[in-house]
Chain A
């Protein structure tokens, strides 16, 4: 992707940073003249990906979550990475209503929401190394 702007933020896996990630990505994307609806779609998808990284990425340890965001005049790409335990079975993890934390009342809807609100979703993971979620949304500027 040939992009015209890029940003990257990194923060500890504390739940209070979920709001920070949403606001940062939304402000960055607001440089493009997007509809309120599109920004809301992006915020929701980012929130899901970052929450996954915070809740599942490191179990009870602390670690960093990185959010990268790039855009050109056709597309926005957001990458959310953790460097934690990784996902063993990505197909299972992406299935609607699947959750590895039922006690925490995770609805298991995270990936489904990301898929619904974005145009492209890719999950890369390796056990013990971490997980990266790549999401793209087409935009008309």
Chain B
């Protein structure tokens, strides 16, 4: 997994199968950076996620709560149809926007 920081935006790029086992690693690595206090926007890049279950929803939800508390935002891009369906099923689509690509995700304030 790679995390890129661009200004006040952080892009989390999980790779492979996003399950409960992997979720704890993502959470730890992401929160270590968020808690430094400079990030205002968390972007999930799902381009290389081949599988996701509801643990992925938990990870997004957790980061959303964290960012909401500091008036920041969370969004995503690169999600395949299955991931989009899962996000919709959980009601998370009311809280986060899924953009078609990284550029769009970075553009929106």
Question: Which positions in A face B, CB cutoff 8 Å?
Answer: 15-16, 18-19, 22, 40, 43-44, 47-48, 51, 54-55, 104-107, 109-110, 112-113, 116
Tell me if B's interface is mostly helix, strand, loop or mixed: helix
Q: In the bound complex, do residue A112 and residue B19 qualify as a contact, i.e. CB atoms below 8 Å apart?
A: no
Q: Which of B20, B27, B86 contacts A18 (CB 8 A)?
A: B20
Check if B54 sits within 8 Å of A113, measured CB to CB: yes
Report which of A18, A105, A116 forms a contact with B19, defined as CB distance below 8 A. Answer: A18
Q: Does the CB pair B54–A105 fall under 8 Å?
A: no
Assign chain B's interface to a size class: 20 to 34
* B61 and A107 contacting across the interface, CB-CB below 8 Å: yes
Q: Which 3 A-B pairs have the closest CB atoms?
A: A15-B21, A109-B54, A105-B58
User: Does any Cβ of A come within 8 Å of B82's Cβ?
Assistant: yes
Query: B residues 1-44 with Cβ under 8 Å of A?
Result: 17, 19-21, 23-24, 27
In the complex, B95 has a CB within 8 A of chain A: no
Q: Report 12 cross-chain contacts, Cβ distance below 8 Å, ordered by A residue.
A: A15-B24, A18-B20, A19-B21, A22-B19, A40-B82, A43-B51, A44-B82, A48-B53, A55-B20, A106-B54, A106-B55, A107-B58
